Each structure stands twice: as structure tokens, then as C-alpha cells.
């Protein structure tokens, strides 16, 4: 057995073990910790499969951002959790749930194991036509040229998710500021970090966004880093989230997807199909779409974590 | 020359792995939060630093080597900040669960 396959085996066993622990543990907070560690291990697995784009997205969104959201949810559940766990469902119900879960896992396992080997792939076709788009990163080409409709719907779905979070607000604070106002000690270590890290983080986030055309990276990963820097300043009490009734905020939230739709519809006239790009302009248009989606994504991801409005709107 | 660089890499990465091991043993065996933090920072600072140092000759270029150094510095910053915050909560009497 070679070193590489031993490492892969150890990684796979660790993933299964931590997944099982996440399911089995009783405490919600511990389950969230397990989930974050699982996501980070999973991104190492993606790196070892040479899928750097997927690894970056998994680390940034799957583990980082979702982890923060789940920690917030676990903290909110803490007061009611003890009462809930006291009334446990009966043994037959729990066995039924376990059997149903095992059946789903088994069906997925059979599906994965019965895939033809080698799996049918379009990768050579993508690489062959890569020069005609002008991009160096095949993943970005697939996301924005071949499967543009998926990316368009994705960017709309995250805005819908934010609207869903906002709609949890009670009527009297509608249009107000999301989440509680953080009053941290301005001399605290968190405030220091919130001053030192954002300049570095903003450069890294923009770099990852820009380099996505030719190397692993892209708007989702870059936007998550930028949103994290904003959230850091919010948590340290150095900045506050804008009230959700601000006009500029709402315009920026829909500007990205709207521009994407506009360019997509224009493709019907100039290139003969919706979401097609005219010859020679593909790279330019893709970069324009990504640049328009970046502010939308930064705002959406940060405000998703900031939560539903809890304080009244400014008079 | 390259033999010496290889020996240097193996020695530095092994030393780094030793500090990670020591940090994990400390994390599992030490009695209270503050001493567990003390063990953990050794793993981050020295362990990762030595691994980074060992990988420098293999980075294949000045830019890649600089990126490795920056990664180490960022981890140093993050771990120092997080340790401070955990320690503060622990000293105030709360248990950081």
C-alpha cells in the first residue's frame, strides 16, 4: 500500500468517524463542532482529489459560514433544549427513524457503487472548448458558460434565503437593524483583531474573486471571506449592520442576479440562445456578471449570519 | 546540496510533528482550561512553524515560500487571539464548552 492511499484511507475513516460522532452526540453544540471539523476534513479530502475549487467552497461556505449559522442556532436553542430532550420519543419511533435513515444511506451507497467505471464524463469536451471562452479555470467555465442557469438560480436562491430570514422579524421591528447590537470593549483583543485582520482579509478575498477566471477561486469563496471580515467588525462592535429598509442595500441585493438575467436575455438576441455569450465577449461578460454578483453575495452572506431584524428602524 | 535540503526538510517536519503530538497529549491530559490552552499554543506556534520551515526549500519559488510564511503568521495571529478569548471566558468562571 502506498503512502498516498494510506493517507486517503485514514482520511476516509476519520470522516466516517466524525460524521457518526456528529449524529450520535447528545449536545447540540458538540454536534455543531463536529460538523465544522467534518467540513474542514472534507475540504482536505477535496484537495487530495485535486478539486481545489470545491475544497475552497467547502471550507468557506460548507464549514465556515454554515458553522457560524449553526452555532447561532445552537445558542438560541440552549434555553429550550433541556425541556425538549426530556420528552424523548418512544423506542419504536426511534428504531423506525434509524431504519429509514439507514435505508436512505443504503440506497445512496448502492447508487454510488453501481456507477459505471469509468464514469461518463464531459471533462475532455469542456477542456477542448476552454480557449473559445477565454478562461483558464475549467470550473468557472462550467459554472458560468455551460451551466449558467444553475449559477443564476443559485444566486437568486441565496437572496430568497435572506428574505426568509428577514420575514421572521416581528412587525414592530420590520425594516430595523439585524441582530443585537454588539458592544464590545474597544480595547479588547477581539476589537484588535477586527482592526488588524480586515485589511489582509479584504485583499485575500478580492484576490480569490479575481483569480477565479484562471485558477481555483471565484465569487462565492471571495464573497465569503469579505463577508467574514465585515462580520468580524460587527461582532467586535466596531461596525453595525445596516437597517434592512435601506434602499441602497435592497438595490445591491438584487443588482447581481438582475444583471445576470439581463445579460442572459441579451444573449438570445446577440448569440442566439438565452444565457449564451456572443463570440469573443464571453470572458468579459463572465467577469462583469461575477463582479456584479460579488456585492450581492457579500451582503447576502453577511446579513444571513447577522440574522432577522431585532431593533427598531431609524426614525 | 539537495541531500542536505532533504535532511533539513525531514528533520524540521518531524520536529514539527513532535510538537503537534505533544500539544495533543497536553490537550487531552492537562487538568484545566488554561493549561490545556498552554499546550495547544505550542502545537500551533512551534509545530506549524517547524513544518512550514521544513517545507520552505520545497516550495519551488520565492513567492510560494512567502505564501507559506504568511499562512504561518496568520495562523499565529488567529491562535493567539482565540486563546486570549477562551482564556478570558475561563478566568471569568464560565466553562467554554
User: pLDDT tens digit string along A263-293?
Assistant: 989 888 888 888 888 877 888 888 889 899 9
Helix A282-306 vs helix A247-270: angle between axes, to the nearest 10 degrees?
150
Q: Which residues of B touch A (CB under 8 A)?
A: 74, 77, 81, 84-85, 88, 97
Q: How far is A190 from chain B (nearest CA, A)?
A: 7
Minimum-distance CB partner of B81 among A27, A29, A189: A189
CB–CB contacts below 8 A, A to B = 14
Query: With contacts defined as CB-CB under 8 Å, which chain A residues touch B97?
Result: 27, 29
Query: With contacts defined as CB-CB under 8 Å, which chain B residues touch A192?
Result: 81
Mean pLDDT in residue range B52-80: 89
pLDDT band at residue A294 using 50, 70 and 90 as cut-offs: very high
Of all residues in chain B, the one with the smallest CA distance to A188 is: B85
Q: Are B12 and B50 in contact (CB under 8 A)?
A: yes
How far CA A286 is from CA of A24, A30, A137, in Å, comes to 44, 41, 12
DSSP classification of residue A173: G
How far CA A121 is from CA of A108, A112, A125, B38, in Å, comes to 20, 15, 9, 50
Best B77, B90, B96 member to test A by mutation, with max A CBs in 10 Å, is B77
Residue with the larger pLDDT of the pair A96 and A314: A96
What proportion of chain A, given as a percentage, has pLDDT over 90? 38
Reported as a single tens digit per residue, the pLDDT across A1-55 is 688 889 889 999 999 999 999 988 878 888 999 999 999 999 999 998 888 888 9
Predicted local distance difference test score (pLDDT) of residue B1? 66
Reported as a single tens digit per residue, the pLDDT across A157-189 is 999 999 999 998 888 888 888 888 877 777 888
Of all residues in chain B, the one with the smallest CA distance to A189 is: B81
**Reported ipTM exceeds the 0.95 cut:** no
Q: pTM for the complete prediction? A: 0.86
Predicted local distance difference test score (pLDDT) of residue B95? 54
Query: Taken in order A42, A43, A47, A51, is the CA torsion positive or negative?
Result: positive
| Range list of β-strands (E), chain A | 177-178, 309-311
Q: Which residues face A177 on adjacent strands? A: A311
Mean pLDDT in residue range B40-50: 84
Predicted local distance difference test score (pLDDT) of residue B10? 92
DSSP classification of residue A177: E
Predicted local distance difference test score (pLDDT) of residue B94? 59
Q: Which residues of A touch B (CB under 8 A)?
A: 27, 29, 189-190, 192-193, 196-197, 200
Angle at A116 between CA A111 and CA A119, to 5 degrees: 105
Q: How far is A140 from chain B (nearest CA, A)?
A: 24
Q: How far is B81 from chain A (nearest CA, A)?
A: 6
Of all residues in chain A, the one with the smallest CA distance to B74 is: A197
**DSSP collapsed to 3 states, A69-108:** HHHHHHHHHHHHHHHHHHCCCCHHHHHHHHHHHHHHHHHH
Of all residues in chain A, the one with the smallest CA distance to B75 is: A197
Average pLDDT, chain B: 86
pLDDT greater than 50 at residue A122: yes
Asked if B85's CB is within 8 angstroms of A189's CB, the reply is yes
Predicted local distance difference test score (pLDDT) of residue B96? 46
Going by C-alpha positions, the residue among A253, A199, A256, A185 that lies closest to residue A230 is A199
Q: Could you tell me the residue ranges of all domains in chain B?
A: 2-91
pLDDT band at residue B97 using 50, 70 and 90 as cut-offs: very low
Query: Taken in order A250, A256, A257, A262, is the CA torsion positive or negative?
Result: positive
User: Which region among A9-23, A110-124, B21-35 has the lowest average model confidence (pLDDT)?
Assistant: A110-124
Asked if A190's CB is within 8 angstroms of B81's CB, the reply is yes
Predicted local distance difference test score (pLDDT) of residue A50? 86
Query: With contacts defined as CB-CB under 8 Å, which chain B residues touch A28?
Result: none
Among all chains, which residue has been given the C-alpha cell 440552549? A78
Predicted local distance difference test score (pLDDT) of residue A314? 63
Q: Which residues face A63 on adjacent strands? A: none
Amino acid at each position: 500500500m502506498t503512502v498516498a492511499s494510506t493517507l486517503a484511507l485514514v482520511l476516509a475513516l476519520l470522516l466516517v468517524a466524525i460524521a457518526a460522532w456528529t449524529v450520535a452526540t447528545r449536545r447540540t453544540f458538540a454536534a455543531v463542532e463536529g460538523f465544522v471539523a467534518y467540513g474542514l476534513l472534507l475540504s482536505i479530502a477535496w484537495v487530495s482529489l485535486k478539486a481545489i475549487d470545491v475544497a475552497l467552497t467547502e471550507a468557506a461556505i460548507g464549514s465556515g459560514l454554515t458553522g457560524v449559522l449553526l452555532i447561532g442556532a445552537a445558542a438560541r436553542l440552549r434555553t429550550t433544549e433541556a425541556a425538549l430532550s426530556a420528552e424523548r420519543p418512544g423506542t419504536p419511533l426511534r428504531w423506525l427513524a434509524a431504519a429509514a435513515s439507514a435505508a436512505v444511506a443504503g440506497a445512496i451507497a448502492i447508487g454510488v457503487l453501481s456507477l459505471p467505471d469509468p464514469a461518463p464524463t464531459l471533462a475532455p469536451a469542456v477542456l477542448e472548448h476552454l480557449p473559445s471562452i477565454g478562461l483558464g479555470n475549467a470550473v468557472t467555465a462550467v459554472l458560468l458558460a455551460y451551466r449558467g442557469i444553475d449559477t443564476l438560480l443559485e444566486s437568486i436562491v441565496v437572496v430568497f434565503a435572506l428574505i426568509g430570514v428577514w420575514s421572521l422579524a416581528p412587525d414592530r421591528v420590520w425594516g430595523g437593524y439585524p441582530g443585537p447590537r454588539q458592544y464590545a470593549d474597544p480595547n479588547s483583543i477581539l476589537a484588535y483583531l477586527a482592526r488588524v485582520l480586515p485589511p489582509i482579509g479584504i485583499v485575500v478575498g478580492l484576490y480569490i474573486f479575481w483569480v477565479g477566471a484562471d485558477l481555483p477561486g471565484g465569487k462565492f469563496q471571495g464573497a465569503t471571506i469579505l463577508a467574514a471580515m465585515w462580520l468580524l467588525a460587527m461582532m467586535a462592535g466596531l461596525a453595525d449592520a445596516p437597517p434592512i429598509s435601506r434602499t441602497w442595500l435592497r438595490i445591491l441585493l438584487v443588482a447581481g442576479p438582475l444583471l445576470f438575467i439581463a445579460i442572459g436575455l441579451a444573449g438570445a438576441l446577440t448569440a442566439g440562445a438565452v444565457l449564451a455569450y456572443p463570440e469573443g465577449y464571453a470572458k468579459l461578460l463572465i467577469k462583469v456578471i461575477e463582479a456584479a454578483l460579488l456585492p450581492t453575495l457579500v451582503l447576502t452572506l453577511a446579513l444571513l449570519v447577522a440574522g432577522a431584524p431585532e431593533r427598531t428602524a431609524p426614525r | 546540496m539537495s541531500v542536505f535540503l532533504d535532511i533539513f526538510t525531514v528533520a524540521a517536519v518531524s520536529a514539527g510533528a513532535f510538537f503537534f503530538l505533544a500539544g495533543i497529549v497536553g490537550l487531552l491530559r492537562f487538568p484545566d482550561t488554561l493549561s490545556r490552552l498552554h499546550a495547544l499554543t505550542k502545537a500551533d506556534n512551534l509545530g506549524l512553524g517547524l513544518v512550514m520551515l521544513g517545507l520552505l526549500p520545497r516550495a519551488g519559488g520565492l513567492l510560494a515560500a512567502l505564501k507559506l510564511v504568511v499562512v504561518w503568521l496568520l495562523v499565529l495571529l488567529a491562535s493567539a487571539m482565540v486563546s486570549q478569548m477562551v482564556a478570558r471566558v475561563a478566568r471569568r468562571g464560565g466553562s467554554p464548552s
